[in-house]
Every structure is written in structure tokens, then in C-alpha cells.
Structure 1
């Protein structure tokens, strides 16, 4: 598991703009799901 996280961090450092988009998208999806769930 730890190796996967380190690998992900390397990917994030390699494409920061892409990572920012991915994080924003995941937060948006999580927010939508929570909103639908309640």
C-alpha cells in the first residue's frame, strides 16, 4: 500500500495541473454523492 502511495505522489509531482484537476473533480463528485445520499 505504501508503495502505491509513493507512486501516486511521484505522478502528482510530475503533472501538478492534472493532479489539481483530479482532486477538484474527486471533491466535486464526493460532494454530489453526499448531497444525493442525504
Structure 2
């Protein structure tokens, strides 16, 4: 049971890091768009 819980937390961290990798560039692009 402990192993499953740890695996779930690691998966969440992986998903969060992937979301950040996608989200951060989008934020920068939209900021550029608003400035222009």
C-alpha cells in the first residue's frame, strides 16, 4: 500500500512538471502578445 501511495505522488509530480513545461512558455507568449 505504501508503494502505491508513493507511486501516485511521483506521478502527480511528473504531471505537474509537464504542465509547467507547457504552461510557462504559453504564459510568456501570451505576455508578449499583450505587450504588442
Q: Under TM normalisation by the shorter chain, which class is it?
A: 0.5 to 0.7
TM-score normalised by the chain length of structure 1: 0.60
Larger Cα-atom Rg: 2
Provide structure 1 residue ranges, at least 5 long, that are not aligned to the other structure.
1-14
Structure 2 unaligned residues grouped into runs of 5+: 25-36
Q: State the TM-score, normalizing by the size of structure 2.
A: 0.63
User: Would you identify which runs of 4 or more consecutive aligned residues in structure 1 move more than 6 Å?
Assistant: none
* Larger RCO, structures 1/2 (Cα 8 Å, 6+ apart): 1
Aligned residue pairs: how many?
24
